[in-house]
């Protein structure tokens, strides 16, 4: 069955071009031209991912992303014509899984969309591996992170990054290693900033004091390392 993509963008010509391009590659694409219509459509639960433009005639894509993230973990790939790093950071902080500035090569969009969907598909596979670090529990099978009784709110990419670091606890991971492991090196020239934003979100979700992190620590000039109070116990 073809994967269902919701495209939310008021640029009719771009939307038509993307719909044709993605349909030719096996996707089913539904288009909405306003933020409110996109929110309503996404609420149907029938879509596998959302491609979301920032600039909208009613509410902007940031507000749409915030609304969707309040009740859904559907993958969101954001688009913007402004090409502003601040837009990128805001989008990622609100829970977008990836971000692409306009103009873009449709092949790059396809690659990013495919990567997001691949991570989502892998989350449905049975996997009993669980890493435990005191009150912090990272469940790869359920794609869930808990701190005590509280569930940590992370996007798919943030979960993948946390799992990568935790599974390699005690070993410093450079940005290049993270890029390679997450399969984004070829397509994301500004991934360094993306990683920093994701790390900040992870710390905010799992650390008692994000400004003085206990788990995810920065090694200046080298990268990041997961330094738990005790080593993980796979189960």
Query: Digits of tens for pLDDT over the chain (235 positions)?
Result: 678 999 999 999 999 999 999 999 999 999 999 999 999 999 888 899 999 999 999 999 999 998 998 888 788 999 987 656 677 777 777 888 888 888 889 999 999 898 888 776 655 444 458 888 888 999 988 889 999 989 999 988 899 899 999 988 878 888 888 877 776 544 454 455 678 889 999 999 999 999 999 899 998 888 899 987 644 444 4
Both ends of the chain: CA-CA distance in Å? 34
What SS3 state is found at 73? coil
Domains plus CATH for the chain? Answer: 4-123 (3.40.50.2300), 130-226 (1.10.10.10)
What SS3 state is found at 116? helix
Distances (CA, A) of 153 to 39, 69, 127, 145: 20, 9, 20, 8
Task: Quote the CA–CA distance of 154 and 84 in Å, as a whole number.
Answer: 24
């Amino acid at each position: 069955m073809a994967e269902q993509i919701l495209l939310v963008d008021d640029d009719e010509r771009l939307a038509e071009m993307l719909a044709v391009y993605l349909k030719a590659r096996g996707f089913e694409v539904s288009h909405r031209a306003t933020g409110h219509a996109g929110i309503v459509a996404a609420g149907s639960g029938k879509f596998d991912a959302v491609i979301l433009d920032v600039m909208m005639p009613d509410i902007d894509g940031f507000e749409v992303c915030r609304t969707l993230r309040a009740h859904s973990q559907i993958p969101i790939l954001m688009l913007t014509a402004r090409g502003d790093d601040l837009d990128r950071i805001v989008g990622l902080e609100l829970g977008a899984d990836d971000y692409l500035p306009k103009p873009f090569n449709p092949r790059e969009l396809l690659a990013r969309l495919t990567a997001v969907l691949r991570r989502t598909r892998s989350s449905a596979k049975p996997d009993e591996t669980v890493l435990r670090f005191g009150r912090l529990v990272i469940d790869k099978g359920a794609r869930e992170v808990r701190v005590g009784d509280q569930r940590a709110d992370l996007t798919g990419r943030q979960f993948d990054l946390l799992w990568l670091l935790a599974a390699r606890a005690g070993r410093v991971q450079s940005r290049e290693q993270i890029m390679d492991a997450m399969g984004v090196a070829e397509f994301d020239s500004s991934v360094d900033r993306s990683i920093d934003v994701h790390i900040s979100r992870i710390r905010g979700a799992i650390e008692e004091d994000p400004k003085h992190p206990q788990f995810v620590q920065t090694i200046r000039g080298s990268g990041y390392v997961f330094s738990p109070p005790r080593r993980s116990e796979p189960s």
